[in-house]
Amino acid sequence: MTSKNIYPADYTEDDIANYDMLIAQGTNLIGTKLKPGEEWILDLSAKMAINKSKGIDSELTQDEVDKLRELHEKTRKEGVFDTPEDYMKDGIIYPTNGDEPYENPLNKSAEYYNEQRLKPPVDVLDPPAVYENDTDSI
């Protein structure tokens, strides 16, 4: 997993210990098969197991769970995941967590980013004025 885990606010010390144990066991069992960036699967599984042990229900019916599994399996096989239409409009990303909208970085070309990388920093183009030794201010 990551070197610094962020635990849900309602976790007790026992929950944190169980979470760490589940992550370690999951890593030992399937960690070598996970690609980099797929550790979230272990995180999600551990949190679901802890919630289930605490009696926290997702409030989904079994039919809804089955439908979600079927949909996930279908999209996994197709390799296509759709972005909701209201998430990105006109090159602007509107985060669902309440953050400010920002420009989609993928809308700009590689040439643009290369030019930005090659530009010297502003302070090099316009160096600050050099002051003479002014002992009056000491």
Residues 57 and 95 in one domain: no
Q: Residue 1: is its pLDDT beyond 60? A: no
Residue 104 lies in a domain: yes
- Domain span at residue 50 reads 13-76
The total domain count for the chain is 2
Output the pTM of the full model: 0.42
CA separation for the pair 29, 38 (Å, rounded): 14
Structural domain contains residue 117: yes
pLDDT 10s digits, 57-110: 777 778 887 887 887 777 767 766 566 656 777 778 887 777 888 887 777 787
User: CA-CA distance, 86 to 95, in Å (whole number)?
Assistant: 10
A 10 A CB-CB count for 104 gives: 13
User: What is each CA distance from 62 to 49, 51, 55, 57, 66, in whole angstroms?
Assistant: 17, 17, 16, 12, 6
Token duo for residue 126: 């316009």
